[in-house]
Structure 1
């Protein structure tokens, strides 16, 4: 009888120990599973970031190979920005210092951006030539970069607001069917200023015909197309 009681006592001591041990093992397994899951998530995130960074790598050499020596010198001024090694202050778009990849994200470029063309043109007769990049992303956008006092500045223009860019810096914006607005731009460390040269509107006559009415410096003329042909006949050569 005494031996039987000792056996019961021994079992009653062993069972809680086993249960406690099992609980510890289950907790350890759960923690290991969570740690493993977290590691996999981190790897997935790392892979996503890596893929995103790779997607923003652009072969700028392809464009530079099509430039003359003077254009190459100007283009090299911007290469640090294009390679995300330097930031630029983006006026009238994000209004802060950003890197090139952040700009691409802002125009909804999720993969390798589609570039319609690259051009170097002096928009405002100061600080050398601006770099203009035309993207298909976001419905069409133009990134305009300049440098001033050793720093970089830029702005973004929508597709219809920066058309027919000329070698003398003129461009036009479309206000819809029959409405055009003609501009020059000044861009430097103080910001971006659009100077309107004039505007052209299609005026419908009583007989149903349309006359182009052009206003320049407050003066109205009806030979609008002739003026456009004279002032917008030297477009920039886009490098594709």
Structure 2
């Protein structure tokens, strides 16, 4: 069963008598374990698409199902529950709490679950180890580099074991060398079975994906799937 299914999804915004289409009749499926990149110029609809995939917004028309559940008509509480239980978010600007430690930031998603996570602290420490920051668990964001902060954000996104990880320009605030390390990490997570969707303007970042969706005027077109990822501009392996 596909993880994400969009059927004839449109999103419109109205200003006076003017109706603007952010998405137009989008049909799209994403299967478990895929690594998908979404590209496009400003205003192409890529951010709107990510917002709908992430249950941050709903279609004006059409249907969206996530993990077999039709989210199209869900209310805000139901959408919040879907986000907490099924989706992990990674943002360009990290969005870490400045006065919380790396460990405390990773634990944040558990606060929004209806049921507590068994062994939450142990799981958070395991995730920090997975992203190479086991020795930085008690550091605050201002004590970490940009790459390390993004790794904390990735660990946080994985805390509730989501089926879908959405990354919005995850390397946009990083230098090329650090960005390469982040993309290698996301590739490694995908190889472990995580479904990842990356929104990016950078073709070198998109090259890591097995499938590239290009947005223009609210309509997606695709490059052939099954591509072999190539690395960002060559650099020796690094740990940001």
Q: Normalized against structure 1, the TM-score is what?
A: 0.26
Q: Normalized against structure 2, the TM-score is what?
A: 0.26
Structure having the larger proportion of residues in strand: 1
Q: Select the structure of larger CA radius of gyration.
A: 1
Structure having the larger proportion of residues in helix: 1
